[in-house]
Structures are given as structure tokens and as C-alpha cells.
């Protein structure tokens, strides 16, 4: 059992939780909680390490047994040690160190969401879940977007990392990856109404940051602008909510036309 807060493995987990550069260099990230790690197991993810407290309930204990059957190193720790390693105030008793294993974008994607400087971790995680639910082929993270493996993103994405292609890309790379697709810029009050635009063809939707909206490079890449009709009293929508409305309108139109 690990009882020391200074144990090298615990120090490593704390670094993974706190430093994006360290996550990128090591190719590892931390994920915690029973439900999230059940998703990892179902998706065939094999952790480098699992730490857990011995007061786990039956569901958590079964999860540990599954990982042990895969020859994953599973170390019991004290609750104080888990608290020190965790990024949450109330840890659920289990945490895993996982390899970054991003899925590849399809050669000919039919729908992608492109994010321009989305900096809020909760919004990015929610958008990842929404992309998965709406049937998007992938998510392209433009420059300035928050690290998709940061702890808050991992928690709010709730397993989308294991099933959705997520690509960090420059604007030049985004242009190459979306060649042949129509690119729509979601722009407040500009361009065609979302309800009137034809969203049935292969397309990418560019969604700008919460504070400043889409940047110059995003605007130059997009072929057309679309907007979500709103009442005049509403100033704007949260990026995650706007993304959900946009993606599910695409899904609605395509289901109607099939």
C-alpha cells in the first residue's frame, strides 16, 4: 500500500494533473472515478497504473479486479494519498493513469466541429460529449483551445476521449483535413439562419471562443456564416450550448432527408 504523499508515482500523477507540457511529453494523463474508468475499460483502454482506496464499493472493487485481470498495476493507497493525487475535492476512490491514444479522423469525414480558442475546460468536455451524441466524425481543436487532456476536460467529457477522434491542428492543417467540405462559421447574427441553411452536405462548423468570438484565421477559412436566431434581449449563448444546437440541427436535417 502507498502511504506516503511523496511516493514517486503519486508525484507523477500530480504532475499529470497540473502540467499540460508534462502530459504532452509523457503521453499520459490521469482519469478518475468509477463511471469514467468503466467507460475506459469498455473501450479497451489499458491503464499504465491504477490507484484505489480499499473502501471501494462492490462496483469499484469489480473494476479493480477487471484491471488486475489485464495485468494492470493496481496499487492500494490511503485516502489521504488519493486526495493528494486527485484533482477533485471529493475523490471517488479510484484513479488511473492512461496513455493518450487519440482516434484517427476518417479519410472523408461527413461532419466535424472546429473550435477556435475555446478556453473553458467544461465547455470543451461538453462539446466532446455533444459531438459523440450528434454523430460528428471528429473534433478539430484550433490554436488557443484548452488542452483536451486536462483533468476538468477529461471529467466533463465522460468517456468521449475513448470514442471520438480529437485532433489538435494549426489552421493550415485544418484547411487540409477539411478539404472538399463546406465550412460554416457560427457567427452572432451574421449569414444565413441555422434553420434555413442546407446542412445535409459534408461540412465543418467553426465555433469561436467565448470571449472574443471567431478570430481572423477562422473567418478567412470559412466559406459561409450561419447564426442561431435568438430573441433580441439575449446577448449570446454559452459555447457548449451553441455547439449543441448547431450539431443537432445538422443531425435533424440529415435524419429528415434520409
CB 157 within 8 A of CB 184: no
Task: Report the pLDDT value the prediction gives residue 189, as an integer from 0 to 100.
Answer: 79
DSSP designation for 215: -
The sheet with strand 182-186 has its strands ordered as 166-168, 138-141, 111-116, 203-208, 182-186, 224-227, 192-193
Cα three-residue angle 135-154-114, rounded to 5 degrees: 45
- Tell me the residue length of the chain: 258
Task: Report the pLDDT value the prediction gives residue 209, as an integer from 0 to 100.
Answer: 80
Task: Report the pLDDT value the prediction gives residue 235, as an integer from 0 to 100.
Answer: 74
Please indicate, yes or no, whether the overall pTM of this predicted structure exceeds 0.85: yes
**11 three-class SS:** helix
- Cα separation, 173 vs 109, in Å, equals 15
In tens, the pLDDT along 26-78 reads 999 999 999 999 999 999 999 999 999 999 999 999 999 999 999 999 999 99
CA-closest candidate to residue 207, choices 183, 232, 181: 183
Low-confidence ranges of the chain (pLDDT < 70): 258
CB 162 within 8 A of CB 98: no
Q: How many CA atoms lie within 13 A of 198 on its CB side?
A: 4
Task: Report the pLDDT value the prediction gives residue 93, as an integer from 0 to 100.
Answer: 97
CATH class of 111-257: alpha beta
- Cα separation, 238 vs 16, in Å, equals 28
Q: Please state which architecture CATH assigns to domain 8-99.
A: 2-Layer Sandwich (3.30)
CA-closest candidate to residue 224, choices 249, 251, 244, 196: 196
Cα three-residue angle 231-232-237, rounded to 5 degrees: 65
In tens, the pLDDT along 173-186 reads 999 999 999 999 99
Task: Report the pLDDT value the prediction gives residue 258, as an integer from 0 to 100.
Answer: 64
- Cα separation, 154 vs 83, in Å, equals 18
- Cα separation, 104 vs 208, in Å, equals 23
For the chain, domain boundaries: 8-99, 111-257
Amino acid at each position: 500500500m502507498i502511504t506516503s504523499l511523496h511516493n514517486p508515482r503519486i508525484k507523477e500523477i500530480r504532475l499529470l494533473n497540473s502540467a499540460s507540457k508534462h502530459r504532452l511529453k509523457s503521453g499520459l494523463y490521469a482519469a478518475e472515478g468509477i463511471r469514467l474508468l468503466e467507460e475506459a475499460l469498455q473501450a479497451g483502454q489499458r491503464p499504465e497504473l491504477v490507484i484505489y482506496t480499499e473502501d471501494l464499493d462492490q462496483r469499484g472493487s469489480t473494476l479493480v479486479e477487471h484491471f488486475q485481470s489485464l495485468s494492470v498495476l493496481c496499487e492500494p493507497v490511503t485516502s489521504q494519498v488519493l486526495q493528494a493525487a486527485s484533482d477533485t475535492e471529493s475523490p471517488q476512490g479510484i484513479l488511473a493513469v492512461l496513455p493518450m491514444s487519440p482516434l484517427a479522423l476518417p479519410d472523408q469525414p461527413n461532419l466535424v466541429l472546429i473550435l477556435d480558442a475555446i478556453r473553458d475546460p467544461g465547455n470543451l468536455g461538453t462539446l466532446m460529449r455533444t459531438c459523440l451524441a450528434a454523430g460528428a466524425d471528429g473534433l478539430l481543436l484550433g490554436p488557443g483551445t484548452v488542452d483536451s487532456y486536462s483533468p476538468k476536460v477529461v471529467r466533463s467529457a465522460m468517456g468521449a476521449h475513448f470514442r471520438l477522434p480529437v485532433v489538435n491542428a494549426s489552421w493550415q492543417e485544418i484547411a487540409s483535413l477539411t478539404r472538399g467540405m463546406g465550412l460554416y462559421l457560427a457567427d452572432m447574427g451574421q449569414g444565413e439562419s441555422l434553420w434555413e441553411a442546407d446542412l445535409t452536405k459534408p461540412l465543418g462548423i467553426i465555433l469561436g471562443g467565448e470571449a472574443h468570438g471567431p478570430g481572423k484565421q477562422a473567418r478567412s477559412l470559412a466559406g459561409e456564416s450561419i447564426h442561431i436566431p435568438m430573441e433580441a434581449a439575449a446577448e449570446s449563448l454559452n459555447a457548449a450550448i451553441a455547439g449543441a444546437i448547431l450539431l443537432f440541427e445538422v443531425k435533424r436535417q440529415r435524419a429528415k432527408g434520409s
